[in-house]
Amino acid sequence: MTSFIDCAPTLPDGSRRKIQIVDQTLRDGPQSWWGMRMRRDMGLPIADHLDRTGFHTIDLVGSSIFEVLVRHCKEDPWDQLISLSKAMPRTTVRAGTRSNGIVTFGLTADSVMDLWVQRLVAHGIGSFWIYDGLFNLDKIGRLVKTVQAEGAQAIPCILYADSPYHTDDYYASRTRELVGLGADGIELEDAAGLLTPDRTRSLVNAIKTAAGELPVEVHFHSNNAMAPINYLEAALAGADRVHTASRTLAAGVSLPSTEVTYSNLKYAGFDVQLDESQFSPVEQHLQRVAEYEGLPVGTPAEFNLFLYRHQLPGGMTGTFKAQLAERGMADRFEEVLDEMSVVRTELGYPVMATPFSQLVGTQAVLNVVTGKRYSVIPDEVLMYVNGHYGDAVAPMDQNIVDVIQDSPKAKSYSDWVPAQPSLDELRKRFGNVDDDELILRLLVPGNEIDIMRNTPKRNRDFSASSREMKHVRELVNAATGAYLHLSSPDFSLTLQGDH
């Protein structure tokens, strides 16, 4: 095995090539491990440390996070975004979006997509990664122009898939098309952790060659334990930036840790300029949050060859298991994964990322649960087969297409044209609301927003040790009187109320 130690080539002037790091501690880390449930009081105490670390960009928000914050955390996502972006003035903060949809697995009107971008920029976002598994260039190009018109950078994202059709040449061609749209950079994402070192080397080289002078970022999940090695291979093949998360929210279904990636790149001979002293405060705070809230922390994964068959993103695993358990079919999980691989092949190898991972997975669950394949077909599958998401990468199984198109609802999608309401038309549905409120009410049902606003705000202080906070929580939950006192050598707390 070739040693990675000090293997980075030097530049013509004798200097070392610089690799920049994009931080995912506030976005993909908690999305992967905590189901996006990072409240403001969890993230705000580490914002200044992240801002001082020297990251190229800090990824902060996506549309699904808005929905989760309202429904599950009872927190206004606009307030969180404004607080966090203001707390990180030194660093560009980023948001992610599909080219043609926010929150929904369906399609979103262009007017809403534009307003979404405009309001995010108004609240501090300076960079966007834009993804579309079927590379709808008209939609991507339109959004790139919208982002840049607001003064932000647009980074289209290439979603990696393992299939006979997703070759290096295929991805190089897509890269050249994205460059032609006027993008500010290219991101390569491996959401399921499928890349091997050899494929990483050849693929990143092909993309970097096609990207020309544009920077290339890599965003690899660690589902199959190879992402840290793949980051080194990507850097050696020409990648300019890598995505990481603080150790507490890294590894496994998440990304490689900032701590290990920084060390690996330095040992390999790259110039990586981060302030190491900021790593520990972030990690320690998140450890206290995890212990107090009963949340998992990043755990390394083991290599699993079965992953290459089903290609299920890590974040969907729990959902599928819960769906089967509700029907008393928890023992059929692997059967669902096998069915997913068959459905994906039949539908022309869509990349396993939103919304296609959901529509393939949902169809697989329905096929297993009903016992009759394609007897129940979700609307999103009908939309996909009829080309409303874009053209499939590979030919679909015509026998399966015929079954789908013979279903009762199929005809309603054959000539369907997605609605394109204006903002004025949408405002009539919600009354006289401002732009932020309009976006919120388009993303989340109004009753959920009302519940969120009527729920007392939580602002927990996680600075005390997790052991002490755990005892406080247990005692408060168990107390029946009006007086409670807790003390230790370096901590004292008294709570007293009316009888």
Q: What is the pLDDT of residue 465?
A: 54
Q: What is the pLDDT of residue 479?
A: 60
Q: With 80 as the cut, is the pLDDT of residue 101 above it?
A: yes
C-alpha dist (Å) from residue 241 to 26, 41, 388: 18, 29, 33
- Tokens standing for residue 256: 């490689």
Report d(CA 318, CA 315) in Å as an integer. Answer: 7
Q: With 80 as the cut, is the pLDDT of residue 142 above it?
A: yes
Largest separation between any pair of C-alpha atoms in the chain: 78
Q: How many CA atoms lie within 13 A of 367 on its CB side?
A: 22
C-alpha dist (Å) from residue 254 to 68, 245, 283, 297, 496: 18, 8, 15, 10, 43
Q: What is the pLDDT of residue 446?
A: 86
Q: Which of 148, 129, 132, 144 is nearest to 27 (CA)?
A: 129
Q: Give the mean pLDDT of 133-147.
A: 94
What DSSP character marks residue 372? S
Q: Where are the beta strands (DSSP E) in 282-332?
A: none
Q: What is the pLDDT of residue 315?
A: 58
Q: Which of 84, 81, 94 is nearest to 55 (CA)?
A: 94
Cβ count within 10 A of residue 152: 21
Q: Using pLDDT thresholds of 50, 70 and 90, give the confidence band for residue 124.
A: very high
Give the DSSP H/E element, type plus range, for residue 323.
helix 317-326
379-415 confidence digits (pLDDT tens): 999 999 999 888 999 999 999 999 999 998 888 888 8
Report d(CA 264, CA 279) in Å as an integer. Answer: 15
Q: Is omega for the bond preceding 489 within 30 degrees of 0, making it cis? A: no
Q: What is the pLDDT of residue 472?
A: 65
- Beta-bridge partner residues of 22: 57, 243
Q: What is the pLDDT of residue 64?
A: 84
Q: Which residue has the tokens 């309001």?
A: 119
Count, in order, helices (H) and strands (E) of the chain.
22, 10
Q: Report the mean per-residue pLDDT for the chain.
A: 90
Cβ pair 304, 224 in contact under 8 A: yes
If one compares 332 and 230, the residue with the highest pLDDT of the two is: 230
Q: Which of 300, 304, 98 is nearest to 194 (CA)?
A: 304
What the chain holds in terms of domains, given with CATH numbers, is 20-293 (3.20.20.70), 306-412 (1.10.472.90), 467-496 (no CATH)
Q: With 90 as the cut, is the pLDDT of residue 274 above it?
A: yes
Provide the percentage of residues in the chain whose pLDDT is more than 70. 92
Q: With 70 as the cut, is the pLDDT of residue 470 above it?
A: no
Q: Using pLDDT thresholds of 50, 70 and 90, give the confidence band for residue 474.
A: low
Q: What is the pLDDT of residue 128?
A: 97
Q: Which of 190, 123, 117 is nearest to 159 (CA)?
A: 190
- Tokens standing for residue 292: 């107090």
Q: Write the CB contacts of 153 (distance below 8 Å, at least 6 apart in sequence).
A: 92, 126, 127, 128, 147, 184, 185
Q: Which of 467, 459, 436 is nearest to 449 (CA)?
A: 436
Q: What is the pLDDT of residue 473?
A: 63
Q: Which residue has the tokens 């549905």?
A: 429
C-alpha dist (Å) from residue 322 to 146, 200, 318, 331, 346: 39, 34, 6, 11, 25
Q: What is the pLDDT of residue 324?
A: 76
Q: Is 377 left (phi over 0), alpha (psi -120 to 50) or beta?
A: beta
* Phi–psi pair at 191, nearest 5 degrees: -70, -30
Q: With 70 as the cut, is the pLDDT of residue 322 above it?
A: no
- Tokens standing for residue 482: 């009006």
Q: With 80 as the cut, is the pLDDT of residue 348 above it?
A: yes
Q: Which of 126, 121, 116 is nearest to 67 (CA)?
A: 116
Report d(CA 444, CA 457) in Å as an integer. Answer: 19
Q: Which of 318, 312, 95, 120 is nearest to 221 (CA)?
A: 312
Residues in the chain: 499
Q: Using pLDDT thresholds of 50, 70 and 90, give the confidence band for residue 480.
A: low
- Measured CA angle at 23 (ends 18, 27), to 5 deg: 160
Cβ pair 32, 67 in contact under 8 A: no
Give the DSSP H/E element, type plus range, for residue 78.
helix 77-86
Q: What is the pLDDT of residue 358?
A: 86
Q: Which residue has the tokens 């050899």?
A: 198
Q: Give the mean pLDDT of 192-207.
A: 96
- Beta-bridge partner residues of 128: 95, 154
Report d(CA 193, CA 21) in Å as an integer. Answer: 19
279-298 confidence digits (pLDDT tens): 999 999 999 999 999 999 99
Q: How many CA atoms lie within 13 A of 34 on its CB side?
A: 29
Q: With 90 as the cut, is the pLDDT of residue 155 above it?
A: yes
Cβ pair 125, 97 in contact under 8 A: no
Cβ pair 358, 344 in contact under 8 A: no
Q: Write the CB contacts of 377 (distance below 8 Å, at least 6 apart in sequence).
A: 363, 366, 404, 407, 409, 410
Strands 491-496, 186-190: pairing is unpaired
Q: Give the mean pLDDT of 138-165.
A: 96
- Tokens standing for residue 464: 């005390």
Q: Using pLDDT thresholds of 50, 70 and 90, give the confidence band for residue 487.
A: confident
Report d(CA 307, CA 109) in Å as an integer. Answer: 35
